[in-house]
């Protein structure tokens, strides 16, 4: 069983900003054009207002020579952590009892 992650995982937008845009001196507009998306779409990801979709993961993997799985796993980890922090009543769900077939 995995141990509970206590710190917030890194959002994929932070990776884009701090590991690619800043070191490469890329502007959001220039990267958005290269990815074939709007500046607004990229900006929402960088500012954590949106997540990485499978299509975006493919685009990022092409641009940065990574894998789409990297981007989707970063997003999944972030989303699950956020969901675990939310008080949406998910902890009150009880397991469904499975009966043996007759």
- pLDDT digit of tens for each residue in the chain (102 aa)? 555 668 999 999 999 999 999 999 999 999 999 999 999 999 999 999 999 999 999 999 999 999 999 999 999 999 999 999 998 899 999 999 998 876
Which domains, and CATH codes, for the chain?
12-83 (1.10.260.40)
Nearest 5°: CA angle at 29, between 48 and 65? 75
Structure tokens, 102: 């007759």
Q: Is 57 exposed, middle or buried (0-12, 13-18, 19+ CB in 10 A)?
A: buried
Supply the pTM of this predicted model.
0.86
Chain centroid to CA 40: 17
């Amino acid at each position: 069983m995995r141990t509970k992650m206590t710190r917030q995982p890194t959002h994929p937008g932070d990776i884009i900003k701090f590991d690619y845009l800043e070191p490469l001196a890329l502007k959001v507009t220039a990267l958005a054009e290269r990815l074939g998306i709007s500046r607004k779409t990229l900006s929402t990801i960088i500012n954590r207002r949106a997540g990485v979709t499978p299509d975006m993961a493919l685009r990022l993997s092409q641009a940065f020579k990574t894998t789409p799985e990297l981007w989707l796993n970063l997003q999944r980890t972030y989303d699950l952590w956020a969901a675990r922090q939310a008080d949406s009543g998910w902890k009150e769900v009880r397991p469904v009892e499975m009966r043996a077939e007759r």
